[in-house]
Chains A and B, each alone.
Chain A
Amino acid sequence: MTGPSRGPGQHRLFWAALAAPGIIWLALLFIVPFYAILAIAGGQLDLFGNPVAVWNPLHWSSANFTGAWHDVAGASAFVGPILLRTVLYVALASLISLLIAYPAAYFVARFAGRRKALFLILLIAPFWISYMMRMLAWIDLLQTSGYVNKVLSSLHLISQPVDWLGGMWITVVLGLVYGYIPYLILVLYAGLDRIDQALIEAGRDLGLGRVRTFLRVTLPMSRQPILTGMLITVLPMLGDYFTNQLLSGTTGTAMFGNVIDDQLTSSGGVLAGQGAVFSLLFLLVLIAPMIYYVVATNRSSRGAT
């Protein structure tokens, strides 16, 4: 045996010890709440109709699962159209977000020059204000007597005030775009900023024009940031209920998150168990793109080395 050494094994132990608190923290904050949802989903109602979590899996009841199944596929099924609507809204909102965010991020990463810091601060600024406050601000702006209508009518674009908050799908979609676009821009910026300037210059040197350099060099290299950004915005959009709740007052724009919200806030929580089942189903559905992302990231990082 040699004396005390600082071999790789000890290094690994050291780093593992450093990472441990974070990993334990994450595990607690993910596994415990997840299990709590399971316990409510498999749980029952007490004498007064309040949901009671059942912690022992052997005692779980299937009532909430069959109830949820009836909502999806039974005679009284009603969630199908809502799921479709949710997917459509989110797809549209993501597309609009991407069309706005990509040029913005591209500009800051490539052309902002000395003002880059300023633009970065501007990009981060929305995070200083809570999501809820930003949405509430829109309620004032979008009212029939609000500034949006005033501006539009002063430009003679509309003859009568538009009831933006009266359950219009476009308001909800734009609300989603507005709410989540800062995340997308920031992720895209981080990715685009990392693209080696030399590669772009090489493209130009080899005779590609500006447009073709962008199409052949920059765009393929932004695939990963776009994927990351989409994931970061699409997942919360799919579960969003708050935007809808604030910006629309009608049933015609209800999204899946609203159904779960309504179940969880039902009187006494009689439907909370079913809401828990839906939350779990939702999680299962969302795991698919997550896995795709992980696989794609692995593949591209392996390709890079």
Chain B
Amino acid sequence: MHPREGWTEDRRPELRTRRGFLRQCAAAGLLVGGGSSLLAACSGSTPHAAPPATSSLTSGGIPLPRPNNPVTWPLYQDNPAIASGLTPETNATLRLYNWVAYINPDSLKAFGKKYNCKVEVTTFENMDVALAKLRSGQHLGFDVFFPTVDVMGELVYGKLIQPINHSYISNITQAWSDFTNPFYDGKWHYTVPYTIYTTGIAWRKDHVDENPYAMANPWAMPWQAKYKDKVAILDDARESISLGLMKNGIFDLNTTDPAHISAAGRSLAQLARLTNVHIDNNDYTEVPSGQTWIHHAWSGDIATAASYMPKGVNVDVVGYWFPPDGKGPVGSDTITVLKGAPNPVLAHLFLNYMLDVNNVLTNISFNGYMQPINGITPQRLVSEQLLPPSLTSTAVLPSYFRRGVMELQIPTATNALWEQAWLQAKSS
């Protein structure tokens, strides 16, 4: 499952797929615990003390990390990292707080076997719900959390995560150099990298005449009335407004310009009128099944297309376009250790484990999403039969993180503009 993807946002769950099933379970859980998020929202967090400004770009005093505005988050005396050289907890159950279907259960089993512990996963359906729960201050007993990079400020200033003791993370040497001192967490005080992904356009070569690689503006590919009812965009405010921006030639995906934002929203409304556009995050099933021919899509979702092809249809008919020059939306996730984790040593060992190339390959075989580890290349994924040769365009290259554009944390007032534009596009 992709970051920011939530079951509740899905318009058409697939019951018969593994992922779909997991999603249903998440939904059932959602209904049971439906009231908790409201309560958490009501209990309210008192605004955190404004931090020392370490950068010029801020929102209410909180620095906004950008590749050209890297942020090193402060360390606090009352939130220390664990000491070095501790022995792992015994008879322990390491508890992960993760997205739905976002880690290979086999990886967890193998880790449990290696360190003689149990591993349990609790899932959340989106970052907001996860943060609300963590903020509520109740003792949840989670050890490891998988946040997106745009909530780092809240996690650090809210002291929801603890700093990492680097002495346990020897495998950091296996990570791409861009991720050993990332702009969103300088000196990796609090995070290690998890998955990486691009957002592009998936299409069915057997139904669609155009080849996006030959088009002047492939971001405009969905805007074609002749594919009415066969076009879908992602159900995600940031992703889809970004699509509208890029279609209009704007590549600042953190823009605060109201004119650009509302124009992007109007473009999406126009797309809705033109194609009766579907809004869902089921790119990984709909494109293989042929239900959708052009789908605004996440790389890791399309990377798993082969598992969802109907009988007798070759995966070659599925294409994924991402700008070959790397100038498109690219993103990454992180793994962190929660403050108050009952098993901090095991948690550190787990972070280390998930940075090892062999464990990463195991994880990708289930998850679809790549991780920025040396040796994880498109060629390797093809030779390990984790990726069909026709879909190597879904692989993420290190250079993308220098040339790509990222959807990062934006000021609150701007976020409201984005959400409002998205709401209007969705309600057109």
A50 and B41 contact, CB distance less than 8 A: yes
Contact partner of A166 (CB less than 8 A), chosen from B59, B135, B278, is B278
A259 and B427 contact, CB distance less than 8 A: yes
A270 and B412 contact, CB distance less than 8 A: yes
Instruction: List A165-181 residues whose CB lies under 8 Å from chain B.
Output: 165-167
Residue B252 CB within 8 A of the other chain: no
Closest approach, in angstroms, between the C-beta of A5 and any C-beta of chain B? Answer: 47
B425 and A251 contact, CB distance less than 8 A: yes
Closest approach, in angstroms, between the C-beta of B52 and any C-beta of chain A? Answer: 15
A271 and B416 contact, CB distance less than 8 A: yes
A270 and B154 contact, Cβ closer than 8 Å, known pairs A248-B11, A249-B12, A249-B279 = no
Closest approach, in angstroms, between the C-beta of B136 and any C-beta of chain A? Answer: 12
Residue B426 CB within 8 A of the other chain: yes
Instruction: List B108-148 residues whose CB lies under 8 Å from chain A.
Output: 126-128, 131-132, 135
Closest approach, in angstroms, between the C-beta of B283 and any C-beta of chain A? Answer: 12
* Cα–Cα distance between A203 and B47 once the two chains are bound (Å): 73
Instruction: List A16-66 residues whose CB lies under 8 Å from chain B.
Output: 33, 36, 39-40, 45-53
* Per-residue B-contact encoding for A94-110, CB less than 8 Å = 1, 0 else: 00000000000000000
Contact partner of B423 (CB less than 8 A), chosen from A163, A245, A259, is A259
Residue A267 CB within 8 A of the other chain: yes
A262 and B423 contact, CB distance less than 8 A: yes
Residue B56 CB within 8 A of the other chain: no
* Cα–Cα distance between A114 and B11 once the two chains are bound (Å): 45
A139 and B62 contact, CB distance less than 8 A: no
A250 and B427 contact, Cβ closer than 8 Å, known pairs A40-B41, A46-B45, A136-B24 = no
B11 and A270 contact, CB distance less than 8 A: no
Contact partner of B427 (CB less than 8 A), chosen from A166, A254, A272, is A254
A249 and B232 contact, Cβ closer than 8 Å, known pairs A136-B15, A136-B24, A267-B415 = yes
Of A33, A78, A130, A132, which is in contact with the most chain B CB atoms at under 10 Å from its CB? A78
Closest approach, in angstroms, between the C-beta of B328 and any C-beta of chain A? Answer: 21
Classify chain B: how many residues form its interface, as a range: 35 or more
Closest approach, in angstroms, between the C-beta of A278 and any C-beta of chain B? Answer: 11
Contact partner of B419 (CB less than 8 A), chosen from A132, A165, A271, is A271
Chain A residues with CB under 8 Å of B131's CB are: 50
Main secondary structure of the interface of B (DSSP, over half): helix
Residue A252 CB within 8 A of the other chain: yes
A47 and B425 contact, CB distance less than 8 A: no
Chain B residues with CB under 8 Å of A263's CB are: 423
* Per-residue B-contact encoding for A268-304, CB less than 8 Å = 1, 0 else: 1111100000000000000000000000000000000
B41 and A53 contact, CB distance less than 8 A: yes
A252 and B44 contact, CB distance less than 8 A: no
A250 and B24 contact, CB distance less than 8 A: no
* Cα–Cα distance between A266 and B232 once the two chains are bound (Å): 20
Chain A residues with CB under 8 Å of B356's CB are: none
A270 and B27 contact, Cβ closer than 8 Å, known pairs A136-B13, A251-B427, A265-B128 = no
Chain B residues with CB under 8 Å of A33's CB are: 38
* Per-residue A-contact encoding for B269-307, CB less than 8 Å = 1, 0 else: 100100011111000000000010000000000000000
Q: What would 7 A/B residue contacts be, using CB atoms closer than 8 Å?
A: A45-B412, A163-B291, A251-B272, A262-B422, A267-B128, A267-B238, A267-B419
Q: Which chain B residues have a beta carbon within 8 Å of chain A's beta carbons? A: 6, 8-9, 11-13, 15-16, 24, 27-28, 31, 38, 41-42, 44-45, 47-48, 50, 59-62, 126-128, 131-132, 135, 151, 153-154, 229, 232, 237-238, 262, 269, 272, 276-280, 291, 412, 415-416, 418-420, 422-428
